[in-house]
Amino acid sequence: MKNVPETIYLQVGDPSVNSEDEMQDFDFKEIEDVPDAVTWCRDRIFSTDIEFVRKDIADGNSLWHDYKKEPPTEELMAVVFYGLEFVVRLSFKVADGTYRFDHNKNGEEAIFWMQIPAIPKELVIPFLNHQTSKQ
């Protein structure tokens, strides 16, 4: 099949008829055979939509992004793959409003990138407290 989306969303119920609380309480087994009770779309429509990711995408390492297809959309810290090396980089905003990574020392453009998650405060604060108590 061509043009299969990576993600689809199931819409269960209708917010113009059902409250959000009612939609949260739906039992899928009770409504799966009711005509038009469950529909799908490639875009999220309601906050109660259920996201489904294609198995071949979910099974892969979906943390990595193809730089040409999915450049960063905000300032973030990332591991960037340039072909022969991995480098930690901070994305930055350019004049046209998009974000990018610098080229590597050989002038090569990024190929893939993966965001480095922020360290949770509950891990950082004890570490900082320990460091200051050593001084």
- Three-state SS at 126: helix
Q: 37 CB contacts (<8 Å, ≥6 apart)?
A: 12, 13, 31
**For 21-30, how does the pLDDT look when each residue is reduced to its tens digit (9 = 90+)?**
777 777 878 7
Q: Note the pTM of the prediction, 2 decimals.
A: 0.47
What does the alpha-carbon distance between residue 78 and residue 4 come to, in Å, rounded to a whole number? 28
- The alpha carbon of 97 is separated from its chain's Cα centroid by a whole number of angstroms, namely 20
What CA–CA distances, in Å, run from 73 to 39, 92, 106? 30, 9, 25
**For 35-93, how does the pLDDT look when each residue is reduced to its tens digit (9 = 90+)?**
777 888 999 988 788 888 877 666 655 688 889 988 999 999 999 999 889 999 999 99
* Residues 72 and 111 both lie in one domain: yes
Q: How many domains does the chain have?
A: 2
Nearest Cα neighbor of 43 from 51, 35, 55, 31 is 51
| Residue 85 forms part of a structural domain | yes
At residue 101, the pLDDT reads: 94
* Residues 71 and 38 both lie in one domain: no
* Residues 103 and 81 both lie in one domain: yes
| Residue 107 forms part of a structural domain | yes
Identify the domain containing residue 47 by its residue range. Answer: 7-59
